[in-house]
Structure 1
Amino acid sequence: MIKFIPQGDIFLLENVSSYAHGCNCAGAMGKGIAIQFRNKFPAMYAEYKLLCKNGQYNPGDVFDYNYGLGHVYNLATQESWRTKAKIEFIQASVLRMFELAMADGVTAIAMPAIGAGLGGLQWNDVKEAIADISMGYPDIDLFVVEKFASLENSLFDI
């Protein structure tokens, strides 16, 4: 099941401890929500940078980081921070994320709107692609927060 949440903070959703976000393959997490992931999971960031440096993280890939209480699915949606996301990279990485989540026993994932914003794609196109893929995984709840808002400015009705 997929649920689009107009605004909120993915890290504050109840009963969700696994997350996903779009990444580039150049080892940079310096803008947008990537900064929150980098700061919240510094060991993950170090592994991600190494994968990128060694050419082991490519568009469409997923770097699955188990932080002990859940997983972070780093979705390779862009080649570098200078390039735009591509819908085919998003589709491949979201599909792979669901496959990994099934294998990991993950039943709920929260993620921001990916591929739009800094990624440069039209959100409605990305939203439709994510929704189509998620239909094949009815046992995994995917919560997509379309716009970041602090706790004071958001209400979660899940």
Structure 2
Amino acid sequence: MPKVDIKNLYYITHIENIPSILERGILSHQEVERLNIDFTPIYDHEIVSKRKDKSTGENDSLWNYANLYFQPRNPMMYRVVHEKDTRNIAIIAVKSNVLSEIGVRVTNGNAANNATEFYPSSEGRKVLEKNWKIIQNDWWNDSDGSKRIIMSECLVPRKIKSDFIDSIFVCDHHTQSKVKQLISNSNIPVIPEPTLFFKPISSQRIGTNISLIDGDMFFSKMHTLTISVNLQGIMGKGLASRTKYQFPDVYVFYQDACRKNEITAVQPCIYKRETSLDQELADLTSPLNTPNSVKWFLLFATKRTWRENSRLEDIEGGLDWLRKNARQQGIKSLALPALGCGLGNLTWSDVGPLMCSYLHDIGIHVAIYLPREAQILPEYLEESYLLRNLS
């Protein structure tokens, strides 16, 4: 069982609320109403009323508690950043010793969910140990309960004193400057951390239609996501392994495509999924209307067997098929990893120019997610290098 190392807990709020929070602390809804404090909400009536009507089992409402998450990058945050301007949202990091405050309760999931249980702080820590791997994960889904568990909460009666506030996270440097102006008399650090808001760390334009992204491809806004696979129907590591557990229906389709030889070393296969990915990821009951929320999956063979390395000629064959068929197949925009890099043991210096030359100017926006296994030299990210085969 993993040791729980809780550095901070997290509170999601509108940046306009921060001065009041630094003055009064993080208040429960009941305290906000009692003190008649003017605040800017980030949650809609559905969320607020659901928590007001939910009891912790001690004949008191969630309304009486200020709530913190152990993992801020969760389904609630996913909903908020899709419904609000991300530049108006902040995550306040709270020191972990808040768990020792009197009356604190810990949940084993989203507190408003009927399946969630409530524990005294000391008992709750043992539950956290059991679920810590899920809580710290990058993904979740409904089927295995991880969507609920990743939203485990710390509930503090009435208020969290401002002394517990450790730092404030925002999505970019522009928002950082804005928040620093709002709290000019405070020495609390304001830190840009785009990944907490499901944004890429960086984005660089190449040619007319390609972006090089440093980030998590599974939260891409592209219509079609590319998964590197082998021809044996085995999803054991990397992006494929994450796909297997986060999207089990994709795994079933992939195995069937391998059995039917519908995917080859030089011909990818498309799973035209019909359900909304955003609907699955966000904490909501009503539809979340976002562009490209229905994702397709492009299964691109970068290995023939799972044990062998990738072959550059196979990558080129698959890219040639993509260039000729992407628009005809109905792909509106496309996200890809650096094909064959990482587990396939190819290098970006070889793969990057190949991908960019084949995907340049194909009539759709293409996002290539850079490999994280090794640092890429700056010259291999220059447009003159990546599009050199077009000159």
Q: Does 1:58 align with 2:264?
A: yes
| SS state at 1:142 partner | strand
| SS state at 2:308 partner | coil
The C-alpha deviation readout for 1:20-54, integer Å capped at 9, x for no partner, is 12211111111011112222332221121133234
CA RMSD of superposed structures (Å) = 1.8
- Ranges of 4+ aligned residues in structure 1 off by more than 4 Å: none
Report the structure number with the largest CA radius of gyration: 2
Larger CA deviation: 101-110 vs 76-85: 101-110
Higher RCO (C-alpha 8 Å, min separation 6):
1
User: How far has the Cα of 1:136 moved from its partner?
Assistant: 4.5
Q: Does 1:144 align with 2:352?
A: no
Give the alignment partner of residue 220 of structure 2, picking from 13, 21, 25: 13
Gapped regions of structure 2 (runs ≥ 5): 1-208, 275-293, 373-391
1:100–1:40 distance in 2 versus 1, CA, 3 Å: farther
| SS state at 2:302 partner | strand
Aligned residue runs from structure 1 range 3-152, under 5 A: 3-5=211-213, 7-14=214-221, 16-68=222-274, 69-137=294-362, 139-147=363-371
Report the Cα distance in structure 2 between the residues aligned to 1:136 and 1:89, rounded to whole angstroms. 21
| SS state at 1:47 partner | helix
TM-score (norm 1): 0.82
| SS state at 1:144 partner | strand
- The percentage of aligned residue pairs carrying the same residue is 26
User: How far has the Cα of 1:76 moved from its partner?
Assistant: 1.3
Gapped regions of structure 1 (runs ≥ 5): 149-158
Report the Cα distance in structure 1 between the residues aligned to 2:331 and 2:226, rounded to whole angstroms. 12
Q: Does the CA contact (< 8 Å) of 2:342 and 2:371 recur in 1?
A: no
Partner of 1:152: none
User: How far has the Cα of 1:110 moved from its partner?
Assistant: 1.1
Q: Does the CA contact (< 8 Å) of 2:228 and 2:239 recur in 1?
A: no
Partner amino acid, structure 2, of 1:34: A
Partner amino acid, structure 1, of 2:219: L
Report the Cα distance in structure 1 between the residues aligned to 2:351 and 2:305, rounded to whole angstroms. 19
Report the Cα distance in structure 1 between the residues aligned to 2:333 and 2:230, rounded to whole angstroms. 24
Q: Does the CA contact (< 8 Å) of 2:333 and 2:365 recur in 1?
A: yes
Partner amino acid, structure 2, of 1:143: A
1:74–1:95 distance in 2 versus 1, CA, 3 Å: same
